[in-house]
Amino acid sequence: MCVSPGEYRVVCPTLIKAVEGDAVTLRGSLSPPVNLTPYTLDLKRLDLYDDLVHVYRHGQDHFPPQSHHYRDRTTLIHEDLIGGTVTLQISSVNLSDTGPYEVYVPKLNARCVFNLTVERKANRTKRNDSSTSGPPVEAETKSEHRGDGENRKTARAVILSTVSLLLLFVILLVWVLMRGRKEKIQTAVDGYEVKNLNIKAAKGDEDLERAAGNGVLL
């Protein structure tokens, strides 16, 4: 808590965190509570020369002195002033909004200072991912489905390759067997023909001898 000396004080958190692009609420409560509607309120950025983030004067917002950096991005909740609470909303915060801020009620000399830290959206996402033990369910499911599909494709390719090799082996085996059988048949045929020729030659010789013995002139 940040407390100012004196009869009144403004109490606010010392640190506020936000992610770029989000809306952030800066809040300080007067203690003891007083209706702040008639009071002057200044909300400042302490590390900038053009430091006025939002100004409230004479019961209404006073925009001319407001820093151009916060122009059209701040909203003071007037209803909360009745209960002694200063609530300022800043839309679409960015990294340059990071810094120390002050809520100040001049007439009561009451103030509090807090720091706003704006983080990159990518950093928050990365930290959230690293804090989990595994990938999100949807991402994990997609990854598993993709892995299953790749495994099925790989298995199908292996099966097709194996079948192709087996078919080629069978074709080669049949070709070798058929070639060997053909050679055996050809050898048998050649042997049979040679044998017939020998038989015919022998028979011719016998006929010649017989004819010669009978005195037949051939």
Confidence of residue 167 (pLDDT cuts 50, 70, 90): confident
With CA atoms as reference, report the closest residue to 12 among 25, 23, 24, 1.
Answer: 1
pTM: 0.55
Residues 6+ apart with CB under 8 A from 50: 67, 68, 69
With CA atoms as reference, report the closest residue to 115 among 47, 168, 171, 69.
Answer: 47
Confidence of residue 23 (pLDDT cuts 50, 70, 90): very high
Question: Per mean pLDDT, which range of 5-9, 126-130, 140-144 is the poorest?
Answer: 140-144
